[in-house]
Amino acid sequence: MTTVWPWLSLAGLGAFHGLNPAMGWLFAVALGLHRQSSRVVWLSLGPIALGHAISVATVLAVVAAFGSTLDPDRFRIAAAVLILGAAGYTAIYGHRHRVRIGMRTGMAGLALWSFLMATSHGAGLMLVPPVLSLCLAGHADALAMASSLPISLAAVAVHSIAMLTVTAALSLAVFAWFDLAVLRAAWINFDRLWTLALGATGVALLIQ
Amino acid sequence: MATWRPDPSFYPSPRMAAKAPKETLAYVAAFDPDRKRPDAIAVVDVDPASPSYSQIVGQVDMPNVGDELHHFGWNACSSCLCPNAPHPHVERRYLVVPGLRSSRLHIIDTKPDPRSPKIVRVIEPAEIAEKANYSRLHTTHCGPEGIYVNALADRDGKAPGGIFLLDHQSFDVLGQWELDRGPQKLAYDFWWHLGHDTMITSEWGTPDTFENGLVPEVLLGSKYGRRLHFWDLHKRKHLQEIDFGEEHQLVFELRPAHDPTKAYGFVGCVISLKDLSASIWTWYRDGDQWAVKKVIEIPAEPADPDLLPPVLKGFSAVAPLVTDIDLSMDDRFLYVSCWGTGDMIQYDVSDPFAPKETGRVRIGGIVSRASHPKATNGALSGGPQMVEISRDGKRVYFTNSLYGAIDPQFYPEGIDGWMVKLNVADGGGIAFDENFFVDWPKGHRPHQVRLEGGDCSSDSYCYP
């Protein structure tokens, strides 16, 4: 019972990240349109998911490494402060980044782009609370590196599969059936939702 | 302030932008050539149903004199929808208005009342010199990394000119754009192919060779700009230079295809030293390099030397002086301003290597002094210059002044400002709107026109 919700929220966050046009599905559609090929849309999914997964995994690995050196309460507060900092950063510097990857990118460039977007948006930090609760479920008083590693890897897998599924469904559907004119009305401000989600994550962790 | 939905004036593709609603207002840069009273951005009513149609209905004066307002642009545009650098929840709201002579940058808010814009920030030349090392600000474009502004000179008024970035929300100067400028020294215009990660820049000259008018020795020595530069837009690195050759001088306005999948565009060359002709060149992708080809040559017209200004007397001919061009949103029609002869020519450029003339009107001109049905004083001075096309391609607006110090070299009797409008027939062909003629108030001359919501030289697109 206690372990179902964290997994569901990891998957839900994966779906949320996949839904955000800035996380890759729109780039996959654009590359398909430029190269007039649905195959390119399919091929783009791998690098987008991979870049995202590596970013999320790196963040969780760093957090887990620190987590193993702190007691759970201190760790929880440190993580909350870090996440609130990330929320502040995305609110203020959200889209003030160097643009390094353009429309002629290859698949390696696309993976790098996805990694940079996920990292600069703090995608991995959003997963800290569910992963933390999974790790603590087994060890009520301490975070053990040995058990947090497989849990973190499984968390990355669940999150990435959900993210990839939504990214794939959206990009393939939009490429095949929709005119991009839908963006004009349907592209709600994900940056703001994202900042709110990060902020809520940080606050939830703090008052837990 | 961020919004919940993308600005309604942003369109993913030029195809969609062409269906945008008709503009009702135009913003026009107006400057005082005597540098005694402040320059201004004028608001012109372009809604035929309005009682004040064809009139200036608003104006915002600059806080100083002698800026020489010239080109300007929007803080944000359709490129905000690009998938690699999305930030579509900013408003197209502020005009970014540089002073070409003063190097001062004005940020003008067009809301809440678009007829009564207000200056909200002035960035002084010292700040731009300090943070970006540039001066003589020329063209602005909204793009993937913010607002790009180009400058014709460094802070000391020397080469190289180049580009710097402004933050599109705070308008803070972020610094020089180029990381590796290669052999590029002179600057004039810039734009890009977002679909090909390529920036293109063109060349005029350093301020000492134009701020007191064109210098004949520099021109005849082929020392003004004659090159195009191609850059990696994201690595900010110079890739290739194309020299048009000694015969060609003043390679100016760059109009890349709006469709981001197409890798070609058009650039005007003002004058040939061989025969005073003007030319239009197409740049295009040739293998893994860029190449150019001359696709239009507009000859000089023989004229009575008594009717010519001193600079042209010896040639007994009027040079066409192609000083601006503009490409319709569907990449079909190219408009070419011949400021010397007074022609505005429409070409069908569906085949970018084989343009066909589809329309021509004449107004003003050094010798012709052609009039307009609604003009009251008969002979008009100046000629077609900055030209702007509505997004649907059905209306074309233009003004008649080139640059304060150059105007009297070709129009020694002075230029009285005007702005006119053409209606475009569906399959091509242009005619004056006989009800639209702005007799510009004395003391100011009009230059660039920007249309409400965007136009054919304000936005770039990431989707075909």
Domain boundaries of chain A, sorted by first residue? 4-207
Q: Give the closest residue to B121 by CA, choosing from B140, B143, B97.
A: B97
Chain B residues touching A113 at Cβ < 8 A: 84
Distance from first CA to last CA of chain A, Å, rounded?
19
Q: What is the mean pLDDT of residues A150-161?
A: 93
| For residue A148, pLDDT beyond 90 | no
Q: Cβ of A189 and B462 within 8 Å?
A: no
Collapsing DSSP to helix, strand or coil, A69 comes out as coil
Rounded to 10 degrees, the C-alpha dihedral A165/A170/A175/A177 comes to 120
Q: Name the DSSP letter for residue B203.
A: B
Element (H, E) at B140: strand B134-143
Q: Cβ of B195 and A100 within 8 Å?
A: no
Looking at the structure, give the CATH architecture of the domain made up of residues B14-451: 7 Propeller (2.130)
**How far apart are the CA of B13 and the nearest CA of chain A, in angstroms?**
8
B453, B9 Cβ separation under 8 angstroms: yes
**How far apart are the CA of B103 and the nearest CA of chain A, in angstroms?**
25
Mean pLDDT taken over chain A: 90
Helical H segments across chain A, by residue range: 4-19, 25-34, 38-67, 72-93, 107-120, 128-138, 145-177, 183-186, 190-207
Residue A2: predicted pLDDT: 58
**How far apart are the CA of A102 and the nearest CA of chain B, in angstroms?**
6
* pLDDT one-digit tens code per residue, B57-88: 999 999 999 999 999 999 999 999 999 999 99
Q: Cβ of A188 and B5 within 8 Å?
A: yes
What is the rounded CA–CA span in Å between residue B345 and residue B292? 21
B149, B163 Cβ separation under 8 angstroms: yes
| For residue A83, pLDDT beyond 90 | yes
Chain B residues touching A109 at Cβ < 8 A: none
Q: What is the mean pLDDT of residues A119-126?
A: 93
Q: What is the mean pLDDT of residues B258-284?
A: 98
Q: Cβ of B144 and A99 within 8 Å?
A: yes
What Rg do the C-alpha atoms of chain A give, in angstroms? 17
Q: Give the closest residue to A115 by CA, choosing from A27, A29, A39, A11.
A: A27
* pLDDT one-digit tens code per residue, B96-113: 999 999 999 999 999 999
B378 — pLDDT class (breaks 50, 70, 90): confident
What is the rounded CA–CA span in Å between residue B301 and residue B299? 6
| For residue A139, pLDDT beyond 60 | no
What is the rounded CA–CA span in Å between residue B50 and residue B236? 46
Q: Tell me which residue in B12, B85, B197 faces A181 most closely, judged by beta carbons.
A: B12
Q: How far is CA B147 from CA B80, B119, B167, B177, B453, in A?
A: 11, 17, 6, 11, 17
Q: What is the mean pLDDT of residues B285-290?
A: 96
Q: How far is CA A56 from CA A97, A155, A199, in A?
A: 19, 10, 18
Question: In which residue are the tokens 């026009």 written?
Answer: B28
What is the rounded CA–CA span in Å between residue B117 and residue B233? 33
Q: Which of A74-78, B110-114, B449-453 has the least mean pLDDT?
A: A74-78
- Percentage above 90 pLDDT, chain A: 68
AA letter at B403:
Y
A1 — pLDDT class (breaks 50, 70, 90): very low
Nearest CA in chain B to A185: B5
What is the rounded CA–CA span in Å between residue B385 and residue B35? 21
Mean pLDDT taken over chain B: 97
Chain A residues touching B81 at Cβ < 8 A: 183, 187
Element (H, E) at B409: helix B407-410
Q: Tell me which residue in A34, A100, A184 faces B10 most closely, judged by beta carbons.
A: A184
Task: Please count the CA atoms within 13 angstroms of the CA of B171 that sit on its side-chain side.
Answer: 23
Q: Tell me which residue in B6, B144, B196 faces A104 most closely, judged by beta carbons.
A: B196
Interface of B with A (CB under 8 A): 2-6, 8, 10-13, 16, 81-89, 144-146, 167, 194-197, 233-234, 260-261, 462-464
Q: Give the closest residue to B47 by CA, choosing from B37, B35, B39, B55.
A: B55
Q: What is the mean pLDDT of residues B133-155?
A: 97
B150, B196 Cβ separation under 8 angstroms: no
> Which residues make beta-bridge pairs with B268?
B280
**How far apart are the CA of A22 and the nearest CA of chain B, in angstroms?**
6
**How far apart are the CA of B33 and the nearest CA of chain A, in angstroms?**
38
* pLDDT one-digit tens code per residue, B172-205: 999 999 999 999 999 999 999 999 999 999 999 9
Cβ–Cβ pairs < 8 A, chains A and B: 89
B329, B14 Cβ separation under 8 angstroms: yes
What is the rounded CA–CA span in Å between residue B151 and residue B177? 11
Longest dimension (CA), chain A: 56
Task: Please count the CA atoms within 13 angstroms of the CA of B452 that sit on its side-chain side.
Answer: 18
Residue B257: predicted pLDDT: 98
Residue B1: predicted pLDDT: 65
Longest dimension (CA), chain B: 63
Q: Cβ of B5 and A187 within 8 Å?
A: yes
How far, in whole angstroms, is CA B247 from its chain's centroid?
24
Q: Give the closest residue to A48 by CA, choosing from A206, A132, A163, A149.
A: A163
AA letter at A139:
H
Collapsing DSSP to helix, strand or coil, A71 comes out as coil
Residue B404: φ, ψ to 5°: -45, -45
**How far apart are the CA of A138 and the nearest CA of chain B, in angstroms?**
41
**How far apart are the CA of B120 and the nearest CA of chain A, in angstroms?**
21
More reliable by pLDDT, A124 or B378: A124
Helical H segments across B199-336, by residue range: 216-220, 310-313
A121, A22 Cβ separation under 8 angstroms: yes
Q: Cβ of B145 and A98 within 8 Å?
A: yes
Chain B residues touching A188 at Cβ < 8 A: 4-5
Q: Cβ of A191 and B85 within 8 Å?
A: no
Q: How far is CA B289 from CA A105, A170, B227, B286, B346, in A?
A: 17, 36, 15, 5, 29
Work out the burial of residue B156: count CB atoms within 10 Å of its CB; fewer than 13 is exposed, 13-18 middle, 19 or more buried: exposed
To probe the interface with A, which of B13, B15, B84, B261 has the most A CB atoms within 10 Å? B84
What is the rounded CA–CA span in Å between residue B323 and residue B338? 7
Six-digit token string for B373:
């049905």
Nearest CA in chain A to B5: A188
Six-digit token string for B195:
């679909």
What is the rounded CA–CA span in Å between residue A45 and residue A198? 25
What is the rounded CA–CA span in Å between residue B444 and residue B336? 24
Strands B418-424 and B343-348: unpaired
Chain B residues touching A97 at Cβ < 8 A: 85
Element (H, E) at B131: helix B125-132
* pLDDT one-digit tens code per residue, B31-48: 999 999 999 999 999 999
What is the rounded CA–CA span in Å between residue B83 and residue B73? 22
Residue A146: predicted pLDDT: 55
Sequence-distant (≥ 6) Cβ neighbours of residue B208 within 8 angstroms? B157
